[in-house]
Chain A
Amino acid sequence: MSTEVVEKVEVKKDKEALLSKKRKALVSNPMDSDNPITIQVLGICSALAVTIALEGTLIMAMAVMFVLVLANVVISALRNTIPNRIRIIVQLVVVATLVATVDQVLRAFAYEQSKALSVFVGLIITNCIVMGRLEAFALGNKPWDSFLDGIGNALGYGWIIIAIAFVRELFGAGKLLGYQVLDKAWYTANGFFATPAAACIILGVIIWILRARSGYVED
């Protein structure tokens, strides 16, 4: 009724277990075979931009999780009341409210990191993963399933950007989470890894590995 592109995951049987097989798949699929970054190729801009160091990336991953999960739940709870003609605007308002909240909280409690992440926190609003999940899932499924879907996709996004940040900080600065791990005496930080171009290449390699393993091919 709301939209034709909704993926209906029919978990309607009255007493389905809270964590049935289907529901577990809602969390596990986006980590691997239906990963938002490597398979759907969404959320690439922030994956390139915020992955220069692990600490900021972890905060970004948590921020995206907060926004994605809550937005999914809220939109799913409201799904039967949302007028179809303004559903995108409604989604945007909900997402923007959540993102503005995250931004304010970061500025109060993690000021330095909020400065380092700068506009990219605000840009979660336009992160295609968030809008994509709202349109494709939350509008057609119940809040608990949407919650799980949000967790799964946020983790799927999170682990990829954390993996990229790990490589970039390790080789770009010889550090991990700000601590020097590669001795400066024999390791010269490779500035190339600090650039977004390096992130693009690392992301490409990750996509390559994951797709080679799963045998996924673009249509």
Chain B
Amino acid sequence: MSKLNKNSNGYIFGYAIILTLVCGTLLAFVSEGLRGRQKAAELVEKQKFILKAGLGANSLDGLSGQQITELYDKVVKVDMINSKGEKVDADEAKLSIFKEYKKKDVTARSLPVYVVGKKDNPTEVESYVLPTYGNGLWDNVWAYVAIDGDVETIEGIVFDHKGETPGLGARITDTVIQNRFVNKKLSYSDNAIDAPDFQKGEGNNYDNEPQKVDGMSGATITGVGVNEMLDVYMTLYRPYLASKKK
């Protein structure tokens, strides 16, 4: 070492280049090596959301990732549709709800509908799970909304978000908040669906008002974002839901 001038430009450049190469190569290996597992983890999470919405918040308690996938394969079928309710030719596995959401022309979006069958009799429809996507306060929020076979009653809902405030807007991931939507009703009008809305304030009783949901104190803007997301997407799903009306 003593012969090298460690402060020469050549040494510094060489050092930086070698260090970058070594670290870069290491990271490339780590990333490649773990990619399979990461994709699998993401998929299980999606399946978990769909099943929790469709079968109930506690339906997956104690199940491992593999068991969740098995249950999903057993009871869930996917319909790919557009906003007119027509079937479209798209691969659900490759579809990104986020990319579809970014399409300015909402009618151009491909929409997956997860038809969840009953646990003991998968051919009988338990609920239709509809993914939605929108904006919260800081970043995107999304939800899987499960509509009962009567295409009117919300059977379950699972929210998630990217960056809402912990303790405030991030509470949309709490089961307590999500359960407030259960048994609320969609209201059909000629060309739209009005989904139940978070109200301002918290701690109010809306048991007898199927269109109103007790709000989240301190998270009004997240609530407004959620309300808008649900209205926009339920309207997009309207033709499909209407066609399933018995």
Residues on A lying within 8 angstroms of B by beta carbon are 52, 80-86, 89-90, 93-94, 96-97, 100-101, 104-105, 107-109, 111-112, 118, 191, 194-196
Contact = CB atoms under 8 A, between A and B. Distances in A.
Nearest to B37: A108
Contacts of A101: 26-27, 30
B167 to A, nearest CB: 4
Contact of A81 (B15, B20, B167): B15
B38 interface: yes
Interface string B15-29: 110011001001100
B42 interface: yes
Contacts, number: 66
16 contacts: A52-B166, A81-B1, A84-B6, A85-B7, A90-B15, A90-B16, A94-B23, A97-B23, A97-B26, A101-B30, A104-B30, A107-B34, A108-B38, A109-B41, A111-B41, A111-B45
A208 B218 CA distance: 31
Contact of B19 (A85, A93, A100, A111): A93
Contacts of A97: 23, 26-27
A84 B6 CA distance: 8
B7 A83 contact: yes
A46 to B, nearest CB: 13
Interface SS of chain A = helix
Contacts of A112: 45
Contacts of B44: 111
Contacts of B30: 100-101, 104-105
B12 interface: yes
A100 B27 contact: yes
A93 B12 CA distance: 14
A86 B12 contact: yes
B167 A195 contact: yes
Nearest to A81: B1
B206 interface: no
A200 B234 CA distance: 42
Interface string B134-176: 0000000000000000000000000000010011000000000
B80 to A, nearest CB: 26
B16 A86 contact: yes
B187 interface: no
Contacts of A80: 1
Contacts of B45: 111-112
Given A83-B11, A97-B26, A104 B38 contact: yes
Contacts of B19: 90, 93-94
Nearest to B2: A80
Kindly name the residue among A94, A107, A196 whose own CB sees the greatest number of chain B CB atoms within 10 A. Answer: A107
Contacts of B107: none
A108 B34 contact: yes
A89 B19 CA distance: 10
A82 B7 contact: no
Kindly name the residue among A82, A84, A96, A108 whose own CB sees the greatest number of chain B CB atoms within 10 A. Answer: A108
Which 7 pairs between the two chains have the least Cβ-Cβ distance? A111-B41, A108-B37, A194-B167, A108-B34, A97-B23, A83-B12, A108-B38
